[in-house]
């Protein structure tokens, strides 16, 4: 993992990068305009992430085994899509809608906490226990606010998720090493070492700028566009 920045773009990195960039732009600027699509996409995104990291943790792929790495991505995408279609049938008591709100708030909490932790070499917080508490605090904080106050949180939650996804996708091609913080904080790879550099600092700054732009843009639309669709129900 330490040599991530110097390695070329591989098949799994290119596939993940394209998907993450598209999702990042969607969540950053237009997610609030398509509430039903955003609901299903949020559920798929969280389920895909959990499935992929579970695969990596259970049986880490060898860096040279491109077949397994691509297979993990495709398998995770397919299983997440299947689970999302099943959850789509849960229309009673607004189960799918509330689940989407929980996933969105939790994902925003993860993105925000990971972003803050990535500001320093090997993580802003060094001890694993303290790091877990820090991440869980923001996850619970995000999902609680988004579940009970979605109308007020949407202009912030969507861009936070979108900016983070977009820049992770960009790093799949730029290879500065910023994406290594994901492997470090999730313990996906035991030998992961995250090091900040001029390249990672540029991406950190760009993530903040994109999040602010997305928040301002979506907030502007919700305030000034008449009949702007927002309600997820």
How confident is the model at residue 128, as a pLDDT? 84
131: tokens are 């790091």
Question: What are φ and ψ of residue 179, in 5° steps?
Answer: -65, -15
Query: What does the pLDDT average to over 24-35?
Result: 91
Residue 3 has pLDDT above 50, yes or no: no
Q: Report yes or no: 135 and 114 within 8 Å, Cβ to Cβ.
A: yes
- DSSP designation for 125: S
Summarised one tens digit per residue, pLDDT across range 150-201 is 888 989 999 999 999 999 999 999 888 899 998 888 887 777 788 888 999 9
How confident is the model at residue 221, as a pLDDT? 79
Q: Report yes or no: 83 and 45 within 8 Å, Cβ to Cβ.
A: no
> pTM of the entire structure?
0.89
Interatomic CA distance for residues 145 and 183, integer angstroms = 28
Summarised one tens digit per residue, pLDDT across range 81-136 is 999 998 888 877 778 888 999 999 999 999 999 999 999 888 888 788 899 999 99
* 36 confidence band (pLDDT: 50, 70, 90): confident
Interatomic CA distance for residues 223 and 227, integer angstroms = 10
Burial letters for 39-62: b for 16+ Cβ neighbours within 10 Å, e otherwise? bbbbbbbbbbbebbbebbeeebbe
């Amino acid at each position: 993992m330490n040599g991530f920045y110097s390695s070329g773009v591989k098949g799994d990195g290119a596939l993940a990068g394209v998907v993450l960039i598209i999702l990042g732009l969607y969540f950053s600027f237009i997610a609030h305009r398509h509430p039903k699509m955003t609901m299903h996409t949020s559920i798929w995104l969280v389920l895909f992430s959990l499935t992929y990291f579970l695969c990596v943790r259970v049986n880490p792929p060898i860096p040279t085994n491109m077949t397994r790495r691509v297979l993990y991505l495709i398998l995770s995408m397919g299983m997440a899509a299947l689970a999302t279609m099943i959850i789509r049938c849960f229309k009673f008591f607004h189960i799918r809608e509330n689940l989407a709100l929980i996933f969105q708030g939790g994902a925003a909490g993860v993105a925000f906490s990971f972003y803050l932790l990535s500001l320093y070499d090997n993580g802003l917080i060094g001890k694993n226990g303290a790091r877990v508490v820090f991440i869980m605090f923001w996850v619970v904080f995000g999902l609680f606010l988004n579940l009970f106050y979605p109308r007020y949180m949407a202009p912030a939650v969507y861009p936070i998720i979108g900016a983070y996804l977009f820049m992770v996708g960009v790093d799949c091609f730029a290879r500065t090493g910023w994406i290594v913080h994901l492997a470090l904080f999730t313990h996906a790879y035991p030998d992961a070492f995250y090091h900040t550099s001029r390249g990672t600092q540029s991406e950190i700054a760009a993530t903040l700028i994109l999040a602010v732009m997305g928040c301002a843009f979506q907030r502007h639309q919700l305030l000034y566009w008449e009949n702007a669709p927002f309600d997820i129900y």
